[in-house]
A and B are shown apart, each in its own frame.
Chain A
């Protein structure tokens, strides 16, 4: 059996799956000020009476890191950046302890200006006196040559608790995001580390002897051990949980939209060939652009509890939420009240709901039912507007080759999977408006916890080979080797896939879930004078976000 637990803003859901069957569903209130207690209570309730040995896998998704970042309750971090020429390094200033130091590496990974030991040590002295215990060490182009980050780490390793080096967080180019990502990692690691250790303790008390797995923003999992070093990858796993839950019901031959309609917001994602689309570089959280892999989701302020009112003569839905629906004692009418008025859903105080909608109806000079329908179609229109905007953005993603530009790879959704509280009621309306087939999966109200339970381990590697300078490196993996001047792209791809496989297994993947995919494989001749001096080969590969073995649907 496998267990998935998803901590949401209001509720925490736990499911226990046996094969494809849901053995148990638990929904408890989330105590935002005591997430550990929430998680442990959820687990012990879900596991009550089950044989601990029969649990083979347990995955949790929490809001811990995200909350800490958004509320600014993270640990202070000393940030040392070696920028070299380019944008003013103070433009990337982050946190209260930010220092730009000398040292430069160029785009080919050549050292231009060395790091000054004394400058770094002087800053360290100052940081210690200010009681800063954690560091982010970042240099420009460190993914081409991490020497300066390693040098700084070696100088400082004995005097601080956590050091995050920029090249460890991602193989992608983007200095500003690398700084932010390394900073956030060092800022949340001291919080998440003891937290997940405590969850593991709590699992042990329940008699479980399996590693804790944690859901990441890209809809994949990693073992808790690894999360010490990569704490930042656990931010924004909430939307990913729902999408992975929906994926279990997706049609792998279709392009589909996932809609998670909640009380306050609706989250939107896109599935292509049975896998969710990822953000091109990384997610944005708490005002920071990062290199953290994440699903390409958008969230809009429209949900079952959105505030419905008239502005001038037009009906407005959200983005504000004034409270629960009238039917549940809230202050203002909501789409949920419209549903209750129409008898589309049961529950709460129907008369209060009708009363609220009637008031709107009178102002508009329309019938009550007509008004309720208008509220729902406005709600659906707002959601679909956001869907179309997302699809449009995806289709306008910049490309850099003639082949990609002329090849029409537009995403054209033909179906949708609707989950969340009012999914059942909204799905037929959304289907009528778009003509796309709308599915509401069974147990759609706990799709998030199911998603956590069935998500597979994911990861990514980036490999760069420069046959002129005779090296091949995969900075995130601390891999650096010499390479033959005649090395080919094929060899570099093979190396990347080997590194990827090893990485995934280390992170807790099972050997039959390694669905590998090349994200990028480019090769350029490097010319000096009029002679080719070597090849520049760039390969990026990932384990695709997807479902663990049993739950995977093979494409028809």
Chain B
């Protein structure tokens, strides 16, 4: 058996790590997936190469997050390794060893936002973002698309790339009115300097293969074509599966494989998916085979019955309406951008973030500079119920001299009396500083 595309695989089930013994994010999560992957002999397929994860560094994390009070305090070894698994795949793909790759790692990351006070939606750090910024610094990658096909809105990824016009973030997910985290509506399209590079396509409960592939072809692929990314990353959550215990969708292993085949991501990263016996073994095998270009037509769940999970016509029309709206809203981006440029220099957004795993709230005031030259300087004033208040300042990767100069000034004048910590991410120079009293 031979792969049509050389495919890298990091398979790291972290059999010795759990949030708690009975938590969905526990040792057993990838046990049956490992059984299926081993029994199928996937690692014997010629052109499929397995890598061990590397361990991500503190700097890899600092490039992306403001961790409170510091990186070491909010991460366990498992998080460094999950992000490191993504890095190992990035090295394989960008180093030319393989054409594409799949980081089958846990715990997931797409709910982790720029500021990290703790764990949200089982995520502490955003492993895709840590990988992407590593790739930008190590391999000079610029324009990248992240397509999030987890059932939950990838709100962390959206938050991190909200102001970045070089990162297209497309999320397909179950309608936020019916599922955690409750966000991801079509009107959420990015900040003033990056309008249109955030795309949200909420789907009604009961969406099946038909609906997902429809959205892919009507909205996702055309937008990708227009954006022309150098790389496509797929946040390949598997909780859209009809057997998933915490969601309400009707997707299948065949559907996931077809979606992967049509999307052709360079790098796929496992996100959620908690039907550990009935879905994950089959979905993961389907995704791996589809990535590698190996026949996946025999991959199906033992209880798969396409008639049982067919979506009804009401779902059809809801999805088609949403797609129409998404495309329509995109037309308005240019005009809105003009308005911002004619308006005030700084734009503020206020946010409340709930950390469901640890059970506390965070309040944020985020200010971004509307800039013609770059993605715009940004500052976040964040206060959490844990008692911490921090100020984070970020000069974007291709920041202009004005934004960079101003960012340094903000950092210097940031008061260590008012804030427990003041952070500076200068992504122009790849320097990360923190000060405190």
Q: Do A and B bind each other?
A: yes
- Contact yes or no, B53 A405, CB < 8 A: yes
Within 8 A of A (CB), among B29-58: 31-32, 34-36, 38-42, 44, 50-53, 55
Given contacts A91-B1, A525-B26, A531-B22, contact A173 B35 (CB under 8 A): yes
Chain A residues whose C-beta falls within 8 Å of the C-beta of B277 in the assembled complex: 107-108
Interface string of A96-108 (1 = CB under 8 A from B): 0000000010111
Of B17, B32, B40, the residue contacting A108 (CB under 8 A) is B32
In contact, A174 and B44 (Cβ under 8 angstroms) = yes
Whether the Cβ atoms of B22 and A527 lie closer than 8 Å is yes
Known: A108-B32, A524-B28. A402 touches B14 (CB 8 A): yes
Contact B16–A402 (Cβ < 8 Å): yes
Instruction: For B217, list chain A residues within 8 Å (CB).
Output: none
Which B residue's beta carbon lies closest to that of A530?
B22
- Chain A residues with Cβ under 8 A from B299's Cβ? 85-87
Contact status B35-A107, CB under 8 Å: yes
Query: Are A87 and B298 interface neighbours, CB within 8 A?
Result: yes
Cα A90 to Cα B301 with chains together (Å) = 19
Q: Are A173 and B298 neighbours in the complex by a CB distance under 8 Å?
A: no
A524-B31, A536-B31 in contact; A175/B40 too (CB < 8 A)?
A: yes
Decide yes or no: A83 and B298 within 8 Å by CB, A107-B36, A174-B39, A524-B28 being known contacts: yes
B contact residues around A107 at 8 Å (CB) = 32, 35-36, 39, 277, 281
B331 smallest CB distance to A (angstroms): 44
Residue in contact with B15 in the complex, picked from A85, A108, A401, CB distance below 8 Å: A401
CB <8 Å contact, B39 and A175: yes
Name the residue of chain A whose CB is nearest to the CB of B16.
Answer: A401
Q: Give bound CA distance, A527 to B304, whole Å.
A: 23
Interface residues of B in 2-18 (CB under 8 A from A): 11-17
How many chain A residues touch B (CB < 8 A): the figure is: 40
- B430: Cβ under 8 A from any A Cβ: no
Known contacts A107-B35, A396-B52, A524-B28; is-contact A85 B294 (Cβ 8 Å): no
Q: Which of B1, B13, B78 has the most CB of A within 10 A?
A: B1
Q: Could you tell me if B17 and A402 are in contact, using CB atoms closer than 8 angstroms?
A: yes
User: CB within 8 Å of B: which of A165-223?
Assistant: 173-177
B28–A526 CB distance below 8 A: yes
The interface bits of chain B over 283-325 (1 if a CB of A lies within 8 angstroms of the residue's CB, else 0) are 0010001000011011111101000000000000000000000
B361 → chain A closest CB, angstroms? 25
Across the two chains, which residue of chain A brings its CB closest to B295? A88
Taken together as a complex, chains A and B put the C-alpha atoms of A205 and B150 apart, in Å, by 73
CA distance A398 to B12 in the complex (A): 9
A230 part of interface (Cβ distance < 8 Å): no
Q: Do residues A400 and B13 form an inter-chain contact, with CB atoms below 8 A?
A: yes
Please measure, in the bound complex, the distance between the C-alpha atom of A174 and the C-alpha atom of B299, giving whole angstroms.
16
| Total contacts A-B at CB 8 Å | 117
Alpha-carbon separation in the docked complex, A174 to B302 (Å) = 19
Residue on A with the closest CB to B44? A289
Contacts of A177 in B (CB 8 A): 41, 44
- Chain B 266-291, CB-CB to A under 8 Å as 1, else 0, gives 00000000000100011001000100
Q: Which of A494-528 contact B (CB under 8 A)?
A: 522, 524-527
Flag whether A403 is at the interface (Cβ < 8 A). Answer: yes
The listed residue (A92, A112, A175, A398) touching B11 by CB distance below 8 A is A398
- Whether A524 pairs with B15 at a CB distance below 8 angstroms is yes
User: Which residues on the A side are within 8 Å of B78 (C-beta)?
Assistant: 402
A-side contacts of B14, CB under 8 Å? 400-402
For A404, the closest partner residue in chain B by CB is B16
Q: Are A91 and B295 in contact (CB under 8 A)?
A: yes
Q: Known: A108-B277, A525-B27, A527-B28. Is A87-B41 also a contact (CB below 8 A)? A: yes
* Alpha-carbon distance between A396 and B53 when the two chains are bound, in angstroms: 10
**Bound: A399/B12 CA distance, A:** 8
Measured CA separation A203–B55 after assembly (Å): 59
| B243 → chain A closest CB, angstroms | 13
* Contact string against A for B residues 48-88, beta-carbon threshold 8 Å, 1 for contact and 0 otherwise: 00111101000000000000000000000110010000000
Give chain A's interface residues, CB within 8 Å of chain B: 83-89, 91-92, 104, 106-108, 112, 140-141, 173-177, 289, 396, 398-403, 405-406, 522, 524-527, 530-532, 536
Q: Give the 4 A-B CB pairs with smallest separation, nearest first.
A: A176-B41, A173-B38, A107-B35, A112-B302
| Sample of 19 more A-B contacts, CB < 8 Å, known A107-B277, A400-B11, A402-B77 | A86-B36, A86-B39, A86-B285, A87-B40, A92-B1, A107-B32, A108-B32, A112-B302, A173-B39, A398-B50, A400-B13, A400-B15, A400-B34, A402-B14, A402-B16, A402-B17, A402-B81, A406-B55, A531-B22
| Chain B positions near chain A (C-beta within 8 angstroms) | 1, 11-17, 21-22, 26-28, 31-32, 34-36, 38-42, 44, 50-53, 55, 77-78, 81, 277, 281-282, 285, 289, 294-295, 297-302, 304
